[in-house]
């Protein structure tokens, strides 16, 4: 038996399984704690981390927690900002930093 035929037969006989993480309510999702910055780039990233101002619409919610549970998503309401004014547990805004020829600056996002 040649190798391609063997691999095809082996792959054809393999069983694939899917594991689904449990879902929890969007307002029960606990955000990850911020790690202590160590390098100069990490310290700059924390110093100039993004700020998010929500003018209209839903506030951000964490999508996954440390246990691997994922948010079931926002429930539909009649209002664009109904029941999604932010979690008392906090939310997360992600940013990245890197070294380059330009100075590291902060980022600000506005959702309107």
Q: Please tell me the distance from the alpha carbon of residue 21 to that of residue 60, in angstroms, as a whole number.
A: 21
What is the largest distance, in Å, between two alpha-carbon atoms of the chain?
65
Q: What tens digit of pLDDT does each residue of 45-78 get?
A: 888 877 778 888 777 777 877 788 888 877 766 6
Kindly report the pTM of this predicted structure. Answer: 0.48
Q: Contact, 32 vs 94, CB < 8 A? A: no
Q: Please tell me the distance from the alpha carbon of residue 110 to that of residue 112, in angstroms, as a whole number.
A: 6
């Amino acid at each position: 038996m040649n190798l391609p035929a063997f691999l095809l037969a082996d792959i054809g006989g393999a069983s694939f399984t899917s594991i689904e993480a449990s879902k929890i309510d969007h307002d029960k999702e606990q955000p990850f704690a911020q790690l202590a910055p160590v390098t100069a780039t990490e310290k700059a990233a924390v110093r100039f981390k993004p700020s998010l101002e929500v003018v209209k619409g839903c506030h951000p919610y964490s999508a996954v927690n440390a246990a691997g549970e994922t948010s079931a998503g926002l429930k539909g309401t009649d209002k664009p900002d109904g029941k999604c004014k932010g979690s008392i547990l906090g939310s997360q805004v992600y940013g990245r930093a890197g070294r380059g020829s330009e100075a590291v600056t902060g980022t600000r996002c506005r959702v309107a």
